[in-house]
Amino acid sequence: MSASDLASSTPARSVAEITAATTAFVRTTVLPLDDLHDGDIAAAGGDELRVRLQGAAKDAGVFAPHAPVALGGLGLNMLDRAPVFEAAGYSLFGPVALNIQAPDEGNMHLLEKLATPPQAERFLGPLVRGELRSAFAMTEPSPGAGSDPSALRTRATRVDGGWLVNGRKQFITGADGAGFFIIMARTAGEPGDLSGATMLLAAADTPGITVVRHIATIDRASLGGHCEVTFEDVFVPDEDVLGGADEGFAYAQVRLGPARMTHVMRWLGAARRAHDTALTYVNEREMFGSRLGDLGMTQQAIADSEIDLAATRALLREACAELDAGGRGATSTSIAKTFAAEALGRVADRAMQMCGGLGVSAELPIARVARELRPFRIYDGASEVHRWSIARRALGKARRDAEAAR
């Protein structure tokens, strides 16, 4: 099946219907498990839980809302998936249940755009159906690739019929238990060059791939952890090059912008649950002769969180509209991601403060939401890197406009 065949599929139900069904499914089926295990996916059963929840999501008609209809998904574009992903994100386990969790969701998007028909059959189809998970192997230990992808050091060397990959990666989300890896490796040039990278597909059981260890982080809702992975003389045949050789950095942009926005969608749901929890609490808690929610300081915190949630949605919609129109969205996705990462953290922090001792306990979901949200200011590009990129583009445009006016 060609990329054009996949893209031509359209959803059969309205976005409102899918969102309502997702809301009902998440709150009745998924949230109780999330609460029981304090948002810890491994403690809740890991992949065994994933398979069970994804089966239930299929029965509820809300599975893979972003994937092509031709592959069993619901075919939503970026704008339309936003409210559905937010509804799923209301539970930390919701994205796993709907098969829209990172990195799988971003990898599906990348494969849909770039995979050859045989690659789509081997990798994309099983991934969409939930038959396996995946990992995107980009980040490396210092001085390798991280916020600066041009520092890429993992090397793929040309051999007869394919490539031999050697290198070390770290913070590879979902690596433990993944069915395959998308490996970013240097096939030309030297570290520091903004070209010469290639994306390579490799089954996880390919000789030479080793998941060395889990790197302990504060978040606990990611299946397969954030791992250190080594590649030692890993052979990847030519037919498993994703896209073209030496074009990996350009192709990465196909994935990065949309993946940042789907992160925002999911974390909007989580932040909204923290906010809703606080609203319920302050409406009921009496203090100093009145309800806590009637106090001016509490109302200011509530208003500020309402503003942060609304502003995040507005920036998200603007970026998604640009992506749906075929734009690259480099600046709009950076702006939306940076604002959201910080604004949604503020929402969770205010909710925690409003709920006092309960807010920092496992009795309410707020503390675990805050725990999961904090890394978002680092994942998919640190806020500082996005600000540098936004400012650099603004300065460049100002210079070009000035030169054009002369």
- Residue 339: CA count within 13 A, CB half-sphere: 20
Task: Judge whether residue 3 has pLDDT over 70.
Answer: no
- Please name the helix (run of DSSP H) or strand (run of DSSP E) that holds residue 164, with its range, or none: strand 162-173
Window from 179-188, 216-225, 285-294, 333-342 with minimum mean pLDDT: 285-294
Give the pLDDT band (50/70/90) at residue 343.
very high
Q: What is the mean pLDDT of residues 236-258?
A: 93
Closest C-alpha to 66, from 120, 108, 26, 35: 108
For 215-250, the DSSP string reads: ---S---STT-EEEEEEEEEEEEGGGEES-TT-HHH
Q: Is 312 helix (H, G, I), strand (E, B) or coil?
A: helix
Task: Judge whether residue 2 has pLDDT over 50.
Answer: no
273 vs 11: which has the higher pLDDT: 273
Residue type present at position 155: R
Q: How far is 24 from 28, CA to CA, in rounded Å? A: 6
Q: How far is 236 from 6, CA to CA, in rounded Å? A: 26
What is residue 253's predicted lDDT score, i.e. its pLDDT? 86
Q: Which CATH homologous superfamily contains domain 249-405?
A: Butyryl-CoA Dehydrogenase, subunit A, domain 3 (1.20.140.10)
Q: What is the mean pLDDT of residues 286-305?
A: 94
Provide the angle, in degrees to the nearest 10, between the axes of the packed helices 330-354 and 296-324: 160
The H-assigned helical ranges of 287-382 are: 296-324, 330-354, 356-359, 366-373
CB 166 within 8 A of CB 155: yes
Report pLDDT digits (tens) over 372-401.
999 999 999 999 999 999 999 999 999 999
Residues in the chain: 406
Q: How far is 139 from 151, CA to CA, in rounded Å? A: 10
Which pairs count as long-range contacts for 392-399, CB under 8 Å and 24+ apart, including other chains?
393/330, 393/331
Provide the angle, in degrees to the nearest 10, between the axes of the packed helices 78-89 and 296-324: 140
Task: Judge whether residue 246 has pLDDT over 50.
Answer: yes
| Mean predicted lDDT score pLDDT of the chain | 95
CB 385 within 8 A of CB 147: yes
Q: How far is 350 from 7, CA to CA, in rounded Å? A: 41
Helix then strand then coil, in percent of the chain rounded to 5, is 55, 15, 30
| Sequence ranges of the domains in the chain | 3-129, 134-246, 249-405
CB 203 within 8 A of CB 127: no
Q: How far is 191 from 246, CA to CA, in rounded Å? A: 13
Report pLDDT digits (tens) over 125-165.
999 999 999 999 999 999 999 989 999 999 999 999 999 99
* Statement: 134-246 belongs to CATH 2.40.110.10: yes
CA 5 to chain centre: 25
Closest C-alpha to 202, from 140, 260, 156: 156
Q: How far is 167 from 170, CA to CA, in rounded Å? A: 10
Q: Which CATH homologous superfamily contains domain 3-129?
A: Acyl-CoA dehydrogenase/oxidase, N-terminal domain (1.10.540.10)
